[in-house]
């Protein structure tokens, strides 16, 4: 048992190398239940069945067909409390404000380090009492 072993994470990211890097970072932190989706549509399909099961969504902002923001809005119609960690290359104030407004729980700026992921997971865990 590690601190993060209760996380059940869905990673939504269109680039497979970033996906596998995230998987590596998360499993190094002791998370064993990691699911992957390569775009928003696949994520929604997965979440249809797994809404009660998954307790954290980590999602890229920029994806073709359905952006991270679109996915977030769709998810928020069903569950307002789902922890949602946005990964973004945008660091301008407007984007951050927009993301917060849409209900992002936390965001990570690219490029990111494993420590940064750990910091954000701790914050989400503390805020959402993921145990």
Partner 1 sequence: MFFDIILFGLVALGGILVLCGIWLRVTRLRHRLHQERDISLLTYAMDHHDAGVAVLDPHDHRVLYQNKSYQCFAPDITSVLAQVRWDERTHTETVHRVDTRKEDRFLSVSVFPVIDNTGLLRCWVISVRDITQTHTDHLLQMQTRKLEAMAALTGGIAHDFNNIFSIIEGFTRLSQVADHDTQHDYTDRVLNAVFRGADLCRRMMTFSRAEVQTEDVIDCGQVLTDHAEKFIAHTYPYGGRIKLYTDFDMGCAVRLSEDVLFQIVSALLQNAIEAIDDAENATGDIILSVQSVSSNDVPPAVQHAAGFDGGRIVKLSVIDDGAGVAADIAERVFDPFFSTKDSGRGTGLGLSLVYALIKNAGGFVDFVSYAGEGTTVDVYLPESDDVPQSREARGHRNNADSDDFDLSRCRALVVDDEEDIVALTANMLRSYGMDVLEANNGNQALVQYDDCDGDIDVVITDVRMPELNGVQLAELIRSIDPNVNIIFMSGYPVSAQGNGNAVPVTDVCLKKPVDPDGLKDVICSVLQRQDGRQAGRVQYWQ
Locus of tokens 């809005």: 73
- For partner 1, which is the closer residue by CB, 35 or 112? 112
Residues of this chain, 72-101, that bind partner 1 according to CB under 8 A: 96
Binding mask 20-59 for partner 1 (x = CB under 8 A): ----------------------------------------
Tokens of 39: 């775009």
Whose CA is closest to 22, among 124, 31, 83, 62? 31
Give the ranges where 1-131 is alpha helix by DSSP (H): 16-28, 40-50, 68-78, 93-102, 114-128
Report in angstroms how near the CB of residue 4 gets to partner 1 at its nearest. 12
Looking at the Cβ atoms of 73 and 122, the one nearer to partner 1 is 122
């Amino acid at each position: 048992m590690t601190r993060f072993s209760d996380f059940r994470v869905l990673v939504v990211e269109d680039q497979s190398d970033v996906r596998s890097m995230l998987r590596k970072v998360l499993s190094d932190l002791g998370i064993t239940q990691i699911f992957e989706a390569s775009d928003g549509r696949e994520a929604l399909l997965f979440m249809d069945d797994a809404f009660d099961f998954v307790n954290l969504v980590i999602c890229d902002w920029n994806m073709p067909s359905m952006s991270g923001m679109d996915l977030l809005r769709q998810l928020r119609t069903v569950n307002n409390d789902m922890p949602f960690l946005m990964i973004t290359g945008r660091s301008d104030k407007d984007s951050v404000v927009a993301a917060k407004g849409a209900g992002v729980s936390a965001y990570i700026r690219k490029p990111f380090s494993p420590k940064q992921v750990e910091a954000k997971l701790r914050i989400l865990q503390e805020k959402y009492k993921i145990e």
